[in-house]
């Protein structure tokens, strides 16, 4: 399917949608529709780049960079093997930015939104 002419004009290029695909790359994730697995996706020749540990950013930002990268890679990796296969460029980028954090797979936890649940019960009336 091809986008209507108005979209091509607005977007400035020809876009298309492919049907019956077995794998789909969307933003930073590849989804395998046959197996249900998902893994990190990076465009060819892309190199991750992170804020250096000694930059003039607030310490809380610097501290959270490696932790958030680890959390995101774990979330978009179906399992530890997929995580380990994809982690190398991210680990190298962290090292070049002065971060000593070792990326390790951590299974995503069920989200329990107890804060909002408790907030409702603790409200003054």
Domain that holds residue 39: 18-109
Q: Is residue 79 part of a domain?
A: yes
Q: What is the pLDDT of residues 26-35, one digit of tens each?
A: 899 999 989 9
Q: Is residue 8 part of a domain?
A: no
Q: Is residue 91 part of a domain?
A: yes
Q: Is residue 34 part of a domain?
A: yes
Of the chain, the percentage scoring pLDDT greater than 90 comes to 62
**Summary mean pLDDT of the chain:** 83
Residue 46's pLDDT is what? 93
Q: Is residue 123 part of a domain?
A: no
Task: Give yes or no for a contact between 89 and 105, defined as CB atoms under 8 angstroms apart.
Answer: no
Question: What is the Cα–Cα distance from 67 to 70, expressed in whole angstroms?
Answer: 5
Looking up tokens 């190398």 gives 88
Q: Is residue 63 part of a domain?
A: yes
- Please enumerate in sequence order all residues whose Cβ is within 8 A of that of 9, keeping only pairs 6 or more positions apart, or say none: none
Q: Is residue 118 part of a domain?
A: no
- Going by pLDDT thresholds of 50, 70 and 90, the confidence category of residue 125 is low
Q: Is residue 11 part of a domain?
A: no
What's the number of domains the chain is made of? 1
């Amino acid at each position: 399917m091809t986008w209507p002419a108005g979209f091509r004009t607005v977007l400035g290029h020809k876009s298309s949608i492919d049907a019956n695909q077995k794998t789909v790359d969307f933003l930073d994730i590849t989804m395998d529709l046959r197996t249900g697995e998902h893994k990190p996706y990076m465009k060819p020749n892309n190199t991750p780049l992170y804020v250096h540990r000694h930059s003039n950013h607030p310490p809380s930002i610097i501290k959270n960079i490696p932790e958030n990268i680890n959390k995101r890679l774990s979330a978009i990796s179906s399992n530890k093997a997929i995580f380990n296969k994809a982690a190398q460029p991210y680990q190298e980028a962290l090292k070049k930015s002065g971060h000593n954090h070792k990326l390790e797979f951590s299974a995503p936890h069920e989200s329990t939104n107890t804060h909002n649940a408790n907030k409702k019960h603790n409200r003054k009336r």
